[in-house]
């Protein structure tokens, strides 16, 4: 479907969103359809950003039903109306299915109610049904107004004054079933609920050697089932988009019994509630259980997760996503003209983009049509490259071909963990080992970092050795901060002794420095002239060449959970400010993003120098805040943000300056940020990025195989990462100039652009750069350049 929307060229000058630049506008915000965690964060961002630019923002309670009923369902929102809702699941403004809005009569009533309040900008948070409804409403708007004037309900003047309606949508749906966006609001939180249940079930299943059939939500979309299967290493998964081939009953039972024969004490089968076979007949969890019991006699249980998946507190990812989307939605409404088509604010890789609503909805409906017509390959393709990629990786990691069917490459590939442990490292190792074996390589595990490498702590690692690794935190291979520089001779000797043909390094900044040292030593030691690739894994997220590292999402969730608890304790005592110190070295990612996810009043980071005047203005800001109904404060401080303004100093300063107005407490989070079970994001990200690294290694080995070529060029030693929308392999030599080695951070960091966002949402004035916003993009062209970084 060709798009008729020409992308607007981006300006070469930065454009800033100014305070009170939207005076006179009225924005209505509603949540509609099924609820999803993170909707409240989106509502909060719309309200606060709207008020910040000078617009009036109105809550429309109970979705479209409230719009039709009017009266007390439409209420002006104040800044404090959205306090303390960031950590609450569901939606505080309610959501309802509305039959009346499907009729013209209902929409006529709704238009009358909006005109009464002067609302001509709608921000709709919901699924494709809700967004379609909003678009129909927008198209009919002027006719509806003329009809209202004809019936004497509104004046002719009102028809002219409110002549057009602008609509911006955000997709809130736990199923991630909307085409055009990588992630919908609520999906990540739903995965958190599912993984919590799977982790708990795995321990009991292991004790009794049981098989568990888990049914997850997704009537028309298998995203939750697929990603949770990928993240827990399930034995089998049933999806609506990709039904099992004929004879699946037999194949599945063979696979389950093979896994048991490999000493695996449990089997996990994940079923999407809308799972079907190739004839479009439903496959129920009970049917699968009966099959396993009858054919194999295994002790089998069914667990249906149901509405647990919609509940609970939103994850850090969902809060940040919803806050970014909410702000982008307000910017889109400010820039809208009568000609602007309705748009959806989406996530592409790591960038917020605007897409034409009609096209996205059309594509989403095309998927369902393809499934109904049994064109399953088309359905998977239409779901997007992210879905397709997940499915292919799952198949490679779950099903081991018999040895005689794997073409041997006669290459040995080693995997090593370097630096501090990060949650998700084990998922990355498991993925690399299995993809390597499937590609015909012999996989070697190096224990205890470069130190262990030099001492020869190297063993072959097999397919079943890495079973059950995805859900384990820390590093099973062991990891150390030691750099290879001191052991180059010994390492070269070990590479020769074990005939290692390629090296995959999973780690943080030390891994990056180690890669540079190995690269530089190639002239002296020809053994080091092999392909090497690094996958970033560190809680600090400070590796040049990637927007994200494995482990930082888990750390962010730990910080957010702790801040939620601390805020709760402060709401009891009133008039209390908490100062919380986060990890990250000199990199302020955790403090800044943690502040955004937890709704902090300030976050001190090294990248943005501050002085005593800034501290003073923060204290004054908190003193003002204590006069309102929100009598608590939260301040985050990165551990190395300033040599002299230590956590103790800031605590003492706040305590002294706030005397009689508020009291202070401090909390150093420390190493709990490095531990814990990996979040679904880190399991999935680790699995996918590591599989991609192994594909690169295989390609490099094929290029040089049999030609006796040594890898001496720069592009043989790379860092793999996500940059904006793409997955990139960047030669480590090229990244040197982008690195601040003294402070161990990249010179440019994408998340600093989100810093004003945190300040605005905490009621500070800040210049928000919107240069990247503003163009409506065609749906299909999103991922034409480069390799898409769907997360």
Q: What is the pLDDT of residues 91-108, one digit of tens each?
A: 999 998 899 999 999 999
Alpha carbon distance 676, 696 (integer Å): 30
Contacts of 479 (CB under 8 A, 6+ apart): 417, 418, 419, 420, 421, 425, 448, 449, 507
CA angle 217, 223, 224 (to 5 degrees): 45
Phi and psi angles of residue 460, each rounded to the nearest 5 degrees, phi first: -70, 145
Q: What is the pLDDT of residues 50-81, one digit of tens each?
A: 999 999 999 999 999 999 999 999 999 999 99
The DSSP line for 194-214 is: HHHHHHHHHHHHHHHT-EEEE
Length of the chain: 791
Q: For residue 782, what pLDDT band results from cuts at 50, 70 and 90? A: very low
Predicted pLDDT at 786 = 61
Identify the active-site residue in 128, 175, 177, 182: 175
Instruction: Give the bridge partners for 604, in sequence order.
Output: 637
Q: In Å, how far from its chain's centre is CA 478? A: 27
Predicted pLDDT at 312 = 93
Predicted pLDDT at 462 = 94
CA dihedral 536, 483, 442, 473 (to 10 degrees): -50
Q: What is the DSSP letter of 528?
A: G
Determine the average pLDDT of the residues in 284-308. Answer: 94
Q: How far is CA 641 from CA 605, 738, 740, 749, in A?
A: 5, 20, 15, 16
Predicted pLDDT at 787 = 66
Predicted pLDDT at 784 = 45
Predicted pLDDT at 261 = 85
User: Is the separation of the CB atoms in 209 and 299 below 8 Å?
Assistant: yes
User: Is the separation of the CB atoms in 250 and 231 below 8 Å?
Assistant: no
Q: For residue 653, what pLDDT band results from cuts at 50, 70 and 90? A: very high
Predicted pLDDT at 712 = 81
Determine the average pLDDT of the residues in 641-655. Answer: 96
Determine the average pLDDT of the residues in 565-592. Answer: 90
Compare 134 and 782 and report the one with higher pLDDT: 134
**Which residue is associated with the tokens 């099924």?**
34
pLDDT of 353 > 50? The answer is yes
E-only strand ranges, 273-372? 300-304, 343-348, 351-356
Predicted pLDDT at 663 = 92
Neighbours of 375 (CB within 10 A): 15
Compare 206 and 5 and report the one with higher pLDDT: 206
Compare 704 and 731 and report the one with higher pLDDT: 731
Compare 500 and 262 and report the one with higher pLDDT: 500
pLDDT of 330 > 90? The answer is yes
Q: What is the DSSP letter of 606?
A: T
689-707: b (≥16 Cβ within 10 Å) or e: bbbbbbebbbebbeebeee
Alpha carbon distance 153, 635 (integer Å): 51
Of 565, 563, 664, the C-alpha closest to 622 is 664
Phi and psi angles of residue 326, each rounded to the nearest 5 degrees, phi first: -60, -45
Annotated active-site residue 182? The verdict is no
Predicted pLDDT at 365 = 92
Six token digits for residue 736: 């040197």
User: Is the separation of the CB atoms in 44 and 82 below 8 Å?
Assistant: yes
Predicted pLDDT at 400 = 86
Neighbours of 712 (CB within 10 A): 12
Report percent pLDDT > 90 for the chain.
Answer: 80
Predicted pLDDT at 262 = 82
User: Is the separation of the CB atoms in 508 and 538 below 8 Å?
Assistant: yes
CA dihedral 309, 315, 321, 327 (to 10 degrees): 110
User: Is the separation of the CB atoms in 382 and 424 below 8 Å?
Assistant: no
Predicted pLDDT at 707 = 62
Predicted pLDDT at 224 = 96
Q: Find the helix packing angle between 285-296 and 248-261, rounded to 10°.
A: 60
CB-side neighbour CA atoms (13 Å) of 167: 25
**Which element (helix H / strand E) includes 39?**
helix 39-52
Alpha carbon distance 413, 697 (integer Å): 9
Q: What is the pLDDT of residues 400-439, one digit of tens each?
A: 888 889 999 999 999 999 999 999 999 999 999 999 999 9
Alpha carbon distance 479, 429 (integer Å): 12
Burial of 103 (0-12, 13-18, 19+ CB in 10 A): exposed
If phi > 0 it is left, if psi is from -120 to 50 it is alpha, else beta; for residue 575 that is left
User: Is the separation of the CB atoms in 784 and 724 below 8 Å?
Assistant: no
CB-side neighbour CA atoms (13 Å) of 424: 34
Q: For residue 499, what pLDDT band results from cuts at 50, 70 and 90? A: very high
Alpha carbon distance 15, 555 (integer Å): 33
**Which residue is associated with the tokens 């991609």?**
692
Q: For residue 608, what pLDDT band results from cuts at 50, 70 and 90? A: very high
Six token digits for residue 307: 């509405």
Alpha carbon distance 215, 227 (integer Å): 13
Determine the average pLDDT of the residues in 542-564. Answer: 96
Report percent pLDDT > 70 for the chain.
Answer: 96
Contacts of 567 (CB under 8 A, 6+ apart): 84, 87, 578, 598, 599, 632, 634
Average pLDDT for the chain: 91
Alpha carbon distance 79, 763 (integer Å): 9
**Which element (helix H / strand E) includes 504?**
strand 502-507
The DSSP line for 150-189 is: HTTSS-HHHHHHT---EEEEEEB-TT---TT-S--BTHHH
Predicted pLDDT at 3 = 42
Of 254, 223, 217, the C-alpha closest to 241 is 223
**The pairing of beta strand 442-446 with beta strand 458-460:** antiparallel
E-only strand ranges, 613-679? 632-638, 663-668
pTM: 0.94
């Amino acid at each position: 479907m060709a798009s008729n929307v020409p992308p607007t060229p981006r300006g070469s000058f930065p454009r800033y969103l100014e305070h009170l630049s939207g005076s006179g506008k009225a924005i209505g915000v509603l949540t509609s359809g099924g609820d999803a965690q993170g909707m409240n964060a989106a509502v909060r961002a719309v309200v606060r950003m709207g008020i910040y630019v000078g617009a009036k923002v109105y809550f429309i309670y109970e979705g479209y039903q409230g719009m039709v009923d009017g009266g007390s369902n439409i209420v002006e929102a104040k800044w404090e109306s959205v306090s303390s809702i960031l950590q609450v699941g569901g939606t505080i403004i309610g959501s309802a299915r509305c039959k009346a809005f499907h009729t013209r009569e209902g929409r006529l009533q709704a238009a009358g109610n909006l005109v009464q309040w002067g609302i001509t900008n709608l921000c709709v948070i919901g699924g494709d049904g809700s967004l379609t409804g909003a678009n129909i409403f927008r198209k009919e708007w002027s006719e509806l107004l003329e009809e209202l004037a004809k019936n004497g309900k509104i004046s002719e003047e009102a028809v002219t004054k409110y002549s057009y309606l602008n609509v911006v949508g955000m997709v809130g749906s736990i199923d991630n079933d909307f085409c055009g966006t990588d992630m919908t609001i609520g999906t990540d939180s739903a995965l958190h609920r599912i993984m919590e249940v799977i982790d708990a079930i795995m321990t009991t299943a292991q004790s009794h050697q049981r098989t568990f059939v888990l049914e997850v939500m997704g009537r028309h979309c298998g995203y939750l089932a697929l990603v949770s299967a990928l993240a827990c290493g399930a034995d089998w998964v049933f999806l609506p988009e990709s039904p099992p081939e004929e004879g699946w009953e037999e194949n599945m039972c063979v696979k389950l019994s093979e896994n048991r024969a490999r000493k695996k004490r449990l089997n996990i089968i994940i079923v999407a509630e809308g799972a079907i076979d190739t004839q479009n007949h439903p496959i129920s969890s009970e049917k699968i259980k009966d099959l396993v019991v009858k054919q194999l006699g295994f002790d089998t249980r069914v667990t249906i997760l149901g509405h647990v998946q919609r509940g609970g507190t939103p994850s850090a990812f969902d809060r940040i996503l919803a806050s970014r989307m909410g702000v982008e939605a307000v910017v889109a409404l400010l820039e809208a003209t009568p000609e602007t088509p309705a748009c959806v604010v989406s996530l592409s890789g790591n960038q917020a983009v605007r897409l034409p609503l009609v096209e996205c909805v059309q594509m989403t409906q095309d998927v369902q049509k393809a499934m109904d017509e049994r064109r399953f390959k088309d359905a998977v393709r239409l779901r997007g490259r992210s879905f397709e990629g997940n499915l292919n990786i799952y198949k490679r990691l779950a099903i081991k071909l018999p040895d005689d069917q794997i073409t041997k490459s006669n290459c040995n590939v080693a995997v090593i963990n370097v630096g501090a442990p990060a949650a998700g490292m084990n998922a990355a190792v498991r993925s690399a080992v299995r993809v390597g074996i499937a590609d015909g390589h012999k996989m070697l595990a190096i224990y205890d970092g470069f130190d262990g490498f030099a001492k020869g702590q190297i063993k072959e690692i097999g397919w079943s050795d890495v079973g059950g690794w995805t859900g384990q935190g820390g590093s099973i291979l062991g990891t150390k901060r030691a750099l290879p520089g001191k052991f180059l001779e010994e390492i070269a000797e070990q590479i020769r002794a074990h005939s290692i043909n390629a090296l995959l390094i999973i780690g943080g900044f030390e891994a990056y420095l180690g890669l540079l040292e190995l690269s530089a030593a190639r002239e002296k030691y020809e053994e080091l002239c092999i392909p090497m690739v690094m996958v970033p894994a560190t809680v600090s997220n400070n590796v040049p060449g990637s927007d994200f590292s494995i482990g930082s999402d888990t750390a962010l969730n730990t910080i957010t959970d702790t801040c939620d608890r601390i805020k709760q304790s402060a709401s009891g005592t009133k008039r209390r400010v908490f100062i919380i110190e986060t990890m990250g070295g000199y990199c302020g990612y955790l403090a800044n993003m943690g502040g955004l996810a937890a709704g902090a009043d300030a976050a001190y980071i090294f990248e943005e120098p501050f002085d005593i005047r800034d501290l003073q203005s923060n204290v004054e800001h908190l003193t003002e805040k204590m006069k309102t109904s929100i009598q608590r404060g939260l301040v985050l401080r990165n551990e190395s943000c300033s040599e002299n303004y230590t956590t103790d100093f800031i605590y003492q300063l706040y305590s002294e300056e706030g005397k009689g107005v508020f009291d202070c407490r401090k909390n150093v989070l420390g190493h709990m940020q490095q531990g814990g079970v990996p979040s679904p994001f880190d399991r999935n990200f680790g699995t996918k990025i590591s599989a991609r690294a192994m594909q690169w290694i295989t390609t490099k080995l094929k290029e040089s195989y049999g030609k006796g070529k040594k890898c001496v060029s720069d592009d043989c030693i790379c860092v793999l990462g996500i940059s904006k929308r793409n997955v990139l392999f960047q030669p480590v030599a090229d990244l040197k100039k982008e690195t601040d080695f003294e402070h161990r951070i990249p010179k440019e960091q994408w998340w600093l652009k989100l810093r004003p966002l945190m300040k605005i949402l905490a009621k500070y004035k800040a210049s928000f750069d919107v240069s990247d916003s503003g163009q409506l993009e065609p749906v299909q062209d999103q991922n034409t350049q480069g390799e898409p970084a769907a997360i």
